[in-house]
């Protein structure tokens, strides 16, 4: 586990908010990597994202059975193949998206920051405007007001002017906007490689160590030699 820093408790989690944009494999890769890095996670899965998860994976995410559903989700590869990864969920705590009395709704609840992955344009707008219509948006607003890291992995194309203005508002407020845009210089040969690149960039923005993709070393032609991923 990571050492406890001044002002942190023995369990100071990262909040991971999953919104309704397409891209649930990105969220799965981020969650697996956070757990592999020894981090604790507070998970908020929006109502809209549950429909996306069902559409993209066939998995129903249910509050009453969240642990079983999350294990099934995280064990799948980006290609949908089951039992691709093994996961330990002991460090995960789940909060219902409708629970506005949850821990992450208060600034006195200690966290390291928040990652919204994927971030829909609706969630971007809600956070930028301070709507706090559900726990995901409320936790993001709290993260900003407390001066903690907020990473927003927006997943939409094309982006209209309104959304671009909302993203600028979030950047001005201190958030780190990370578009879900895979790169190819790392030698991707599989859909999981592209997913892991985006997940890795999200974790880079949060300062969480990982080995999800081969980093640029200033030498051309190295893309065929991928780093081992976890």
pLDDT at 228 over 70: no
pLDDT tens string 125-158: 999 999 999 999 999 999 999 999 999 999 999 9
Q: How many residues does the chain have?
A: 230
- With b for 16 or more beta-carbon neighbours within 10 A and e for fewer, the 106-138 pattern comes to eeebebbbbbbbbbbbbbbbbbbeeebebbbbb
Neighbours of 187 (CB within 10 A): 15
Q: Round to whole Å and give the CA distance between 50 and 120.
A: 13
pLDDT at 227 over 60: no
Question: How confident is the model at residue 133, as a pLDDT?
Answer: 97
Average pLDDT score, the chain: 93
Question: How confident is the model at residue 161, as a pLDDT?
Answer: 98
Burial (0-12, 13-18, 19+ Cβ within 10 Å), 61: buried
pLDDT tens string 79-137: 999 999 999 999 999 999 999 999 999 999 999 999 999 999 999 999 999 999 999 99
- Do 153 and 175 meet the contact criterion of CB atoms below 8 Å apart? no
Confidence grade of residue 52 (pLDDT, cut at 50, 70, 90): very high
pLDDT at 8 over 80: no
Confidence grade of residue 186 (pLDDT, cut at 50, 70, 90): confident
CA angle 76, 43, 156 (to 5 degrees): 70
């Amino acid at each position: 586990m990571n050492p406890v820093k001044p002002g942190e408790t023995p369990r100071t989690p990262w909040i991971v908010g999953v919104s309704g944009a397409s891209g649930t494999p990105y969220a799965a890769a981020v969650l697996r990597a956070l757990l592999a890095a020894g981090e604790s996670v507070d998970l908020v899965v929006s109502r809209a994202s549950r429909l996306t998860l069902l559409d993209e994976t066939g998995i129903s995410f249910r509050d009453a059975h969240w642990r079983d559903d999350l294990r099934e989700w995280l064990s799948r590869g980006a290609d949908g193949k089951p039992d691709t990864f093994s996961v330990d969920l002991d460090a995960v705590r789940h909060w219902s998206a409708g629970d506005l009395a949850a821990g992450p709704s208060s600034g006195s609840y200690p966290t390291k920051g928040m990652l919204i992955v994927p971030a829909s344009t609706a969630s971007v707008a809600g956070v930028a405007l301070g709507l706090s219509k559900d726990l995901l948006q409320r936790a993001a607003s709290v993260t900003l007001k407390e001066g903690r890291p907020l990473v927003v992995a927006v997943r939409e194309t094309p982006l209209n002017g309104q959304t671009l203005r909302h993203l600028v508002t979030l950047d001005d407020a201190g958030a780190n906007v990370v578009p879900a845009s895979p790169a190819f210089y790392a030698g991707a040969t599989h859909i999981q490689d592209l997913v892991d690149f985006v997940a890795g960039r999200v974790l880079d923005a949060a300062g969480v160590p990982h080995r999800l993709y081969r980093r640029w070393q200033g030498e051309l032609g190295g893309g065929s030699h991928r780093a081992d991923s976890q």
